[in-house]
Amino acid sequence: EESREERLATNKKLVEAFGSTRRRRQLNAREEGTVRVEKLGDAADALQAYMGKVVTDAEAQGFTKDKIMGQVSAARQLPPHNLEACNAWDAYPWETLVPGDAAGSIRPGRLLKAAQEYEVEQDMREKRKIDPYVLSRLPLLRDPDQRLVKQRAQVLAYLSALLTLKNARPVIQVDPLGGGLEKKASDLKMSTELLEALLKAFYHCSHQDGRERYEQDKESQARLVAYICVAALLAEPGACLSPASCSALADALKMPASDLVVRFREVGATSVPSNIKSEDISAEEKEKGAKPARSYTVTLLPDPRKTLGQSLPAIKLPAKRK
């Protein structure tokens, strides 16, 4: 039987040979990563297959339905959550979103200053002191409600640290003779306390040649992306990410927006295909050639009558064996 890759290659040859100009253009656009609703299928199928394997393995061990669903909940790689909550902040409480006791080490002062002073913002941008995606969300910190602004600034500062780790090398080495964890934290533009907590939460530690070696497996990578998705949504008014911000976050994570939407759905968010409007594109991005494009509006728990548990993707339990 032909594999999916072989079928796609055959289809491409047929389109190139006999297809219309419009059909060839559509095929090329798809290969170049243009966001299409139908592209959700592959990532969603892979995720469902993984969850299905968790269910099958749990059933093979003789687990009850409740225990099987407990296994599924753990396999989702979600941040600490409340399944009965009906709003974003109750569903993913801030006090449990930051691993360990590191929440107090998150210092949003630089972000607050950058939101008010253009020179500070430019300095941060040029020296990469804050993740570029987070800098693009500085308008959120110009709200007259100062309590809300401080809350958002804290979430954005944490999000910057998460994105920095996501885009760092997959293996992080800490040399006690080369400055240790303090030097590595300085390199990654975060506090030592926060880096230590994040390494424990998202990496496996081993020792090699007197150095600490931190590595991620697929599960911990997925968990890190889940934390990023939740933090990005909590920073937004109404926990709603605009099409432009969804596309920008996908770029920051180096993944197609269609794949990112699958990750958002896995934490209980909903998505609607939407267009990025011209007014949502910054002058700097327009100078680089950015144009209105297809993306998604993503919202966490938009319906106050629906719990997080009801919003998470359904996992089909295998039929009972006779």
The first and second tokens of residue 164, run together, are 């920095």
CB atoms closer than 10 angstroms to residue 9: 12
Q: What is the pLDDT of residues 272-322, one digit of tens each?
A: 999 887 777 766 666 766 676 789 999 999 999 999 999 998 765 555 555
Measure the CA–CA gap between 315 and 266, rounded to whole angstroms: 11
Residue that is written with structure tokens 């009906």 in the block: 86
The first and second tokens of residue 94, run together, are 């801030």
Measure the CA–CA gap between 49 and 150, rounded to whole angstroms: 41
In 3D space, the residue among 47, 49, 55, 53 whose CA is nearest the CA of residue 71 turns out to be 55
Stated pTM of the model:
0.77
List beta partners, residue 211: 208
Pairing of strands 294-300, 240-241: antiparallel
Long-range contacts (CB closer than 8 Å, 24 or more residues apart) made by 204-211: 208/173, 210/175, 210/176, 210/177, 211/173, 211/174, 211/175, 211/176
* Residue-level length of the chain: 322
Q: What is the pLDDT of residues 18-55, one digit of tens each?
A: 566 655 555 554 444 333 333 334 444 555 555 566 56
In 3D space, the residue among 188, 186, 178 whose CA is nearest the CA of residue 210 turns out to be 178
